[in-house]
Each structure stands twice: as C-alpha cells, then as structure tokens.
Amino acid sequence: MRKYILSEGEIPKRWFNILPLLPEPLDPPLDPETKEPVSPDKLAVIFPEPLIEQEVSDKEWIDIPEEVLEVYSLWRPTPLHRAKNLEEFLQTPAKIFFKNESVSPPGSHKPNTAVAQAYYNKISGVKRLTTETGAGQWGSALSFATQFFGLECRVYMVRVSYNQKPYRRILMETWGGEVIPSPSPNTNAGRKFYDQDPEHPGSLGIAISEAIEEAATRDDTKYSLGSVLNHVLLHQTVIGLEAKKQMEMAGFYPDVIIGAVGGGSNFAGLSLPFLADKLRGDKPDLKVLAVEPTACPTLTQGEYRYDFGDTVGLTPLIKMYTLGHDFVPPPIHAGGLRYHGDAPIVCKLYDLGYISAVAYKQTEVFEAALTFARTEGIVPAPESAHAIKAAIDEALRCKETGEEKVILFNLSGHGYFDLSAYDKFMRGELED
C-alpha cells in the first residue's frame, strides 16, 4: 500500500503530554526582573487560564474538547504515505513514510493548535487575538481558526515574508485576519526598528514583541503563539498519535523519525508519542532527528541558556538553545524556521541526548524538494523540505550499508504559496 488512512472516529480524543515522562523537569520560565519563576498572574496578562494550566500540567493525557474535535474533523485524520517512488528513485532498501499535514485547509500542521487556542480563548471571554507569523502558515492557521469561534485576529508578519509571500497574506485576509508587516510603527517594539529602517526585514522575535505588546495593553485581547510553548507541542501530538496507529497498519515501527525545527512544534508533534517509547526504555535505539537551516542553526550552534523569547525582552526568560534574542536571521525562504530559539521540551531532549540535530544550506534543501515533488507529486513547503533532505540522506546511507531502515518524516505543509522561491531556485538565483 502507498497510503494509510484512519476513519474520522479514530481522531485522537486526548492529547499526549510528555512532561511527566521527562527524565529531568524543565527549567521554569523566569521573571526577567526578579529572576524567580514567573508567576501565573504575569502569564495571565497574555494567555487564558486553561492554556496556562496545560503549560504546566502533570497529566500524561489531556482530553480534547468536542468543539475542537468537530473542527479537526474537517481534515483529520491526515494520511500516512509510503514514498515508494522516492525509494525507487534513490534505489535504497530503506522504507520511507511521511505524515501528510499539508491537507489541512491552511495547508500545514499549524491549525492543530490554532483551533485549540481559539477555543480556549473563546470560553475564557477573550474577543481578540494577536500573533506573529514568519512564512505565514501560523498566521493563516490562526485566522482560519478564529472564524469558528467568533474572534478577531491581528497578525504581525515578518516583513521579508510579507513581501516574499503575498498569497499567504491574502489567505489570512480571506479568513478575516488583519495582517501588519513587522517591524511596524504600530507598537513601541516595532518603532524601535521601523524608525531605523522602514524596510527592515524583521524577525520572528521582533514580530512576537509587537504582538505581545498589543495584547498586554488591551483588556479584550490575548496573545497566541504557534510554536515553542509546552501547550502548543501538546496540541500537535495528534500528528504522532495518528502516525503510531498508521505505522501499525503498515506493519512497521520507525527506526528514524525526522522533522524540521524552527520553534519545534511539527517536529515534536510527530516525534513525542514515539519518544515516549524511547523514554520508557522500549525503543532505546530509536533515532529522532531535528533538521534546521544553517542560516538559523539554534540546536547545532546555539547556547543552552536562559534567553528572551522575543527580541525586545517582553517575554519571560526561557531555558533553551538560542542564538541570542537580538539575532536577525538572513532572509531565507523557510520563514517558519527563522527563530533564534527552540521549544524548551525539544531543547531538554536534545541536551539529554534523546534527539540529534543537523543543519542544511538553502540550495541543497530546495534540490531535495524538487526530487520529492518530481517523485511523489507534492510540492513541499521550504520548511518541510528540510525534513525531506534529511530523509533522503538517511535513505542514501542505507543504500551504502544495505540496511532496510524504516524512515518516517513529517511533511508539515505544502509549498504552493512558495512557488516564487522555487522559481528563483530553478533559475539559479537562490543563494545560501
């Protein structure tokens, strides 16, 4: 078989929380003023209470509300594919599978948490949400999700992506989102950079600062984040929970699990339910590989320390691998991977040696993307193409050794709004 499909009734009814299984507890977020663990009162300024509770929950399983499941059913469960054409092209004995999260209406994995966050904000009496977006996948997902719960949505979009990806902006506006290029003159955080250079390329850190500042200064508004935080990774575990069932249908258990990492949500969403087996000692040899761009190599070159999650310094201090909160990455087309830090859960697992990481240059990633598009027919997002590049490399190693490894990666989104980047690559105009 080439495709493994679950029924609507097999959508997971609970999210998986890995926090109780970690060998060491996460280092708590700190108040930047006192350097003490941040109080729930300060978090409540920008997040609703149910999400704060999920952020620190010690329950291994958390029920998914019926209202969220109803929206999930528009596209979930997502299919698991076996990439047989790619296997044959590579002439590898490896078996390559991918979880296809590109089939959601916004075209990526992001609505798995956007829908949940919109729901919890709605029942908490919130009227508006602010957020940031890089490539536009998160902004479009939140614009999509807020429509189901009657919320307004304002998105601060990193300026370089705002200019590179006009169709993502149009998609957000189609779903009712208001899109502001960041840095902008709308906020104190944005003006700091906008006044220096109105064409400043921006960064996710700057856009986060703008969105948080607005949320913190309005009583009817909260902030919504598309990656990094524990509750975001929690919501994304529907990916891995479905994939475990589908791999059982296929009759295999992965030897290698791969995902692209910007903040870490799609990578964690696929891998955490499998990593539970490794943490329990049932699958000690499982290889879990995080893939990032050399232009923003947080895990492979960053420092493991406390840092701000945004550029200006409005967030609590978070223990993570970081390139520094003032780092502005080059304007690569994988905008969703242009973040200076990573999710604390992912960083803890990396620090303890349960996962590994690799970084690739932009042109070799696009070469892998073309190979995938021409064998499997799906044009991948530049972010997802990082995982594809790593999967191809793993499969070619199997070709050399003769090992019949089972490789599973997350196709976190499609690239149909990224065709200008593909055009530049095919014309030889795309630089590393």
- Please report the pLDDT score of residue 329 as a whole number: 78
- Does the residue 360 lie in any domain? yes
Q: How far is CA 293 from the centre of its chain?
A: 14
Residues 215 and 192 in one domain: yes
Q: Taking 80 as the threshold, does the pLDDT of residue 330 lie above it?
A: no
pLDDT band at 140 (very low <50, low <70, confident <90, very high): very high
Q: Is 154 helix (H, G, I), strand (E, B) or coil?
A: strand
Q: Closest by alpha carbon to 382, among 287, 262, 208?
A: 262
Coil/strand/helix, residue 213: helix
Say if residue 325 is in the same domain as residue 384: yes
Q: How confident is the model at residue 336 (pLDDT cuts 50, 70, 90)?
A: confident
Domain count, the chain: 2
pLDDT at 312 over 90: no
Query: Looking at 212, 227, 242, which one is the last position of a domain?
Result: 227
Tokens encoding 295: 């232009």
Check whether residue 127 and residue 208 sit in a common domain.
Answer: yes
Is 406 inside a domain boundary?
yes
**Residue 280 phi/psi, 5° resolution?**
-80, -10
- For residues 115 and 193, state if they share a domain: yes
Q: Which two tokens stand for residue 286?
A: 């499982």
For 303, residues 6+ apart whose C-beta sits below 8 A from its C-beta are: 321, 322, 323
pTM assigned to the model = 0.95
Asked, for residue 213, whether it belongs to a domain, the answer is: yes
Q: Are residues 283 and 306 in the same domain?
A: yes
pLDDT in tens, 350-367: 999 999 999 999 999 999
Q: pLDDT grade, residue 334 (50/70/90)?
A: low
Calculate mean pLDDT across residues 385-392: 98
pLDDT tens-digit profile of 86-125?
Answer: 999 999 999 999 999 999 999 999 999 999 999 999 999 9
Q: Which amino acid is at 158?
A: V
Q: Are residues 183 and 247 in the same domain?
A: no
- pLDDT, one tens digit per residue, over 165-201 is 889 999 999 999 999 999 999 999 999 999 999 999 9
Mean pLDDT, rounded, for 57-64: 97
Q: Are residues 242 and 374 in the same domain?
A: yes
- Same domain membership, residue 87 and residue 135: no
Which positions ≥6 away from 391 have C-beta within 8 Å?
Answer: 96, 98, 256, 258, 407, 409
Write down the pLDDT at residue 134. 84
Q: Taking a C-beta distance cutoff of 8 angstroms, is the pair 184, 194 a contact?
A: yes
Encode pLDDT of 203-251 as tens digits.
Answer: 888 999 999 999 999 999 999 999 999 999 999 999 999 999 999 999 9
**301 vs 360: CA distance, rounded Å:** 13
C-alpha–C-alpha distance, residues 84 and 400, integer Å: 18
Report, as an integer, the average pLDDT of 317-335. 84
pLDDT for res 77? 98
Q: What is the mean predicted confidence (pLDDT) over 335-345?
A: 85
Over the stretch 269-311, which tens digit does the pLDDT of each residue have? 999 999 999 999 999 999 999 999 999 999 999 999 999 988 8
Q: Is the pLDDT of residue 328 over 90?
A: no
| Structural domain range at position 160 | 16-59+110-227
pLDDT given for residue 236 in this prediction: 98
pLDDT for 332: 67
Same domain membership, residue 297 and residue 199: no
Q: Let me know whether 390 and 252 are in one domain.
A: yes
Looking at the fold, whether 319 and 285 belong to one and the same domain comes out as yes
Q: Give the total residue count for the chain.
A: 432
Q: Do 212 and 146 belong to one domain?
A: yes
The reported pLDDT for the residue numbered 335 is: 62
The tens digit of pLDDT for each residue in 257-276 reads 999 999 999 999 999 999 99
Residue 421 pLDDT exceeds 70: yes
**What pLDDT was estimated at residue 430?**
85
pLDDT at position 394: 98
Beta-carbon contacts of residue 170 (< 8 Å; ≥ 6 apart): none
Would you say residue 431 lies in a domain? no
Give the domain CATH number at 97.
3.40.50.1100
